[in-house]
Amino acid sequence: MKDKVSLSLPCKADYVTVARMTTSVIANKFNFDIEDIEDLKVAVSEACNNVVIHSNIDDFFNIDFFLNGKTFIIEVEDKGKGFDIQKYEGPDLENPSENGLGIYIIETLMDDVEIKTEKGNGTKIVMSKFLK
Amino acid sequence: MAIAIEKNYKEENDQWNIKLSGEMDINSSDEVKKELQDIIDQNIADIEIDCEELSYIDSTGIGVLIGILKKIKKSDKTIVLTNTKDNIKRLFNITGLDKIFIIE
C-alpha cells in the first residue's frame, strides 16, 4: 500500500500556511535535511499561491503527497481556469517584475516539475524531489 | 498576524530601519507593502531591513520588495537586508536578486 497524504484545502490565502506546515512535517518524516525542507515549503507555497491568485475557483483545491520509489512527489491540483502554458514566459531576471517568479522558483528548487494545464480545464503541478 | 513590522527613521544617515519578524507570504505581504509604501510616502531614503527574525519569504514577499525598490531606485536609494537567514539568502541567490538587493 502506497502511503499517500491528501489535503483538500479551501482556495483562500490563509490555507497556504496549512499546506506549508503540512509539507514541512511530511518532508521531515521522509528524512529530508533542513535545506530541502525549506525548498519544499517554498515550492508548495508557490504552487498554492498560484491557485489562490489565478485559478478563479471559490471552493477547494487538492494537494497529494506520496513517495514513488525514491522520489517524493507533491501534486497540487485545481479545477480552475487553467492557462495557456505555451504563452508562459519565464521571468526576466535582469529586469525583475513584482509578479511571475512562482513557477521559476518551483522549477529551480525541485528536481523535476511537470505542469499540466489547459485554459478552462484546471491546472495540476507535479513536483518531485529525490530522497537522499 | 503572521508578521510584525517595526520601523524607525534615522535622520543622521537618512535611512529607514525596518525589522520584520515572522513570515512574509501571501497573507502578510500586503501588510508589509502598505507599511513600506507609507514610509516612502513620508520620506524616500535607503531602507535597511533587519531580517534576523524573518523566518520565511516567497515570491509574494519578494515581489513587494521589488516593487518598493523600483520606486526608491529612481531617487538612487537602495534596500539592504541584514542578518538574513541562509534559506532566504539562497532564494535571493537562485533568482539572481542578490544582484539588485544588498544582502548581508
Give the chain A residue nearest B96 (alpha carbons): A93
- The confidence score (pLDDT) of residue B1 equals 55
Give the chain A residue nearest B88 (alpha carbons): A38
B29 neighbors B64 (Cβ within 8 angstroms): yes
b/e per residue, A83-120, with b = 16+ CB within 10 A?
beeeeeeebeeeebebeebbbbbbbbbbeebebebeee
Please tell me which of the candidates A16, A108, A109 has its beta carbon nearest to residue B26. A16
Please tell me which of the candidates B27, B59, B91 has its beta carbon nearest to residue A17. B27
- The confidence score (pLDDT) of residue A51 equals 97
Closest CA to A54 of A66, A62, A46, A44: A46
Residue pLDDT, tens place only, B39-54: 999 999 999 999 999 9
pLDDT average, residue stretch B9-23: 96
The maximal CA–CA distance of chain B, rounded, in angstroms, is: 35
pLDDT average, residue stretch B30-45: 97
- What global pTM score does this model have? 0.95
Cβ of A98 within 8 Å of Cβ of B63? The answer is yes
Q: Is A58 exposed, middle or buried (0-12, 13-18, 19+ CB in 10 A)?
A: exposed
> Which H or E run includes A116?
strand A112-117
Cβ of A93 within 8 Å of Cβ of B58? The answer is no
List chain A residues with CB under 8 Å of B85: none
User: What's the grid cell of residue A107?
Assistant: 522549477
The C-alpha atoms of residue B56 and residue B90 are separated, in whole angstroms, by 12
CA torsion angle B87 B93 B98 B102 (round to 10):
30
Cβ of B26 within 8 Å of Cβ of A53? The answer is yes
- The confidence score (pLDDT) of residue B26 equals 97
Say how many CB pairs under 8 Å bridge A and B: 67
CB atoms within 10 A of CB B90: 18
User: In chain A, which ranges are continuous DSSP H helix?
Assistant: 14-29, 34-54, 102-109
Residue pLDDT, tens place only, B55-79: 999 999 999 999 999 999 999 999 9
B97 neighbors B70 (Cβ within 8 angstroms): no
How confident is the prediction along chain A (132 residues), in pLDDT tens digits per residue?
678 999 999 999 999 999 999 999 999 999 999 999 999 999 999 999 999 999 999 899 999 999 999 999 999 999 999 988 888 888 888 888 888 899 999 999 999 999 999 999 999 999 999 998
Please tell me which of the candidates A17, A42, A52 has its beta carbon nearest to residue B91. A42
- The confidence score (pLDDT) of residue B71 equals 96
**B2 interfaces chain A, CB cutoff of 8 Å:** yes
- The confidence score (pLDDT) of residue A93 equals 81
**B95 interfaces chain A, CB cutoff of 8 Å:** yes
ipTM of the complex: 0.94
- The confidence score (pLDDT) of residue A22 equals 98
